[in-house]
Amino acid sequence: MVGSIGISKIKTAIFISGNGSNMKNLIKFSKLKTSPIYVDLVLSSNKKANGIRYLKKNKIVYKIFNFKKKKDENKVLKILKKKKINLICLAGFMKILSKDFIKKFNGKILNIHPSLLPKYKGLNTHERVIMNNEKFSGCTVHIVNSKLDSGKIILQKEVRISKKDNPKTLSKKILKQEHVLYPKALKKFLSKT
């Protein structure tokens, strides 16, 4: 378990697949008194995810599931139920959850996406944004529904693109803003539910 259990804190699981910088940021956020969540569990779809190093170092409970089969999702659902998880935060999670899974957690799965949705859903966002000579991009926290990157938007942050930006520099700029946006969006979302 991570963070102190304030009576009203929401039991949260974070799903990751890679670097886990948003995960780290949410875990740090969850330890604040003012945070509405505490992180009870992290699931990774990738046993080589960089984020796992941080989890090991900080003795945070994590599990690995490749989410390839229905069987995996069922096991995950069982664990989430056992731990009484009320909220799932996807943070760089690269798998697509089934409609069934999403239905079971209806309205209680959030995701962060590195674009100003509804623009640039899906993968390779920064490459496409740069190719199209966009002046702005950004990040979005939204509720997950059965259509990719299409659920209700909770918050967005715009980021200005400079002429010198390439996908790598833009991704860095946006990631920095993601770390501000996700906690803010959680506060907003949970003050309404």
The binding site for ligand GRF (CB under 6 A) comprises 18-22, 91-92, 112-114, 175, 178
User: Is 155 within 8 Å of 138 (Cβ atoms)?
Assistant: no
Nearer to ligand GRF, 62 or 71 (CB): 62
SS (H, E, C) the chain: CCCCCCCCCEEEEEEECCCCHHHHHHHHHHCCCCCCEEEEEEEECCCCCCHHHHHHHCCCCEEECCCCCHHHHHHHHHHHHHCCCCEEEECCCCCCCCHHHHHHCCCCEEEEECCCCCCCCCCCHHHHHHHCCCCEEEEEEEECCCCCCCCCEEEEEEEECCCCCCHHHHHHHHHHHHHHHHHHHHHHHHHHC
Nearer to ligand GRF, 7 or 123 (CB): 123
Q: Which residue, 41, 26, 21, is CA-closest to 185?
A: 26
Nearer to ligand GRF, 87 or 89 (CB): 89
Tell me whether residue 126 is one of the annotated catalytic residues.
Answer: no
Compute the least distance from the CB of residue 96 to ligand GRF, in Å: 12
Compute the least distance from the CB of residue 182 to ligand GRF, in Å: 9
List 113, 126, 142, 179, catalytic entry:
113
Nearer to ligand GRF, 4 or 138 (CB): 138
> What CA–CA distance (Å, rounded) separates 136 from 92?
21
Compute the least distance from the CB of residue 53 to ligand GRF, in Å: 12
What are the catalytic residues? 113
